[in-house]
Amino acid sequence: MKQFIVLAAVLPLMLLFVAQYAIDQRNHAATAFVEEEVRAACEEARSAGCFTSEIRERLVRSISGKLGIPAASVSVEADDSVVYRLNYFDSTGERGLIRYKITVPIGPMTAYSGFLSPAGRNERTVVIAGTMASERLP
């Protein structure tokens, strides 16, 4: 009986590691997927000169569809006016460069989140931001 009680106490603690491993693997795969999708969208945006509404929609649809999160929670902050290619580098960074910041909440960071973490503070968010040179010719 004593050993059964010890097992009952220890088992949930040990299962935490298994659940945490599963969550880590899932988050890692989701992060890699988001990075890959953003990279593909950036290649399109570079040719188009900006993140057009089609590129944004395709990116949001793809991420929300694959990760099963609401489209409204995927945030795409990027220049929507066309940026043209220059044959010199503008050191101020105001011309010829496209900036972007994509924010995607991908789910809980730790297992037993309702029990171990304060409410609303366990959400893992992937933020991918960067700058790229536009390839679009005037």
Partner 1 sequence: MKVFIVFLCILIIFVGFFVYESDLSNYLRIEGYLKNLSEEAACAAAMYYDEARFGQGIYILSETEGRKAVEYIVAEANSALSSVREGILTYELDLFDSEKGFDGTEQRPAAQVTLTYTCDDLFRLPFLRVTSVERRGRYEIK
Q: Which residues bind partner 1 (CB under 8 A)?
A: 3, 6, 10, 14, 17, 20-21, 24, 28, 31-32, 35, 39, 46, 85, 87-89, 91, 93, 129-133, 135
Among residues 3 and 53, whose Cβ is nearest to partner 1? 3
What are the helix (H) ranges across 1-138?
A: 2-48, 53-67, 113-116
* Residue that is written with structure tokens 């593909």 in the block: 40
Minimum CB–partner distance for residue 95 and partner 1 (Å): 12
Instruction: In whole angstroms, give the CA distance from residue 84 to residue 82.
Output: 6
Minimum CB–partner distance for residue 72 and partner 1 (Å): 26
Among residues 30 and 67, whose Cβ is nearest to partner 1? 30
Instruction: In whole angstroms, give the CA distance from residue 38 to residue 96.
Output: 20
Among residues 69 and 97, whose Cβ is nearest to partner 1? 97
Instruction: In whole angstroms, give the CA distance from residue 79 to residue 94.
Output: 11
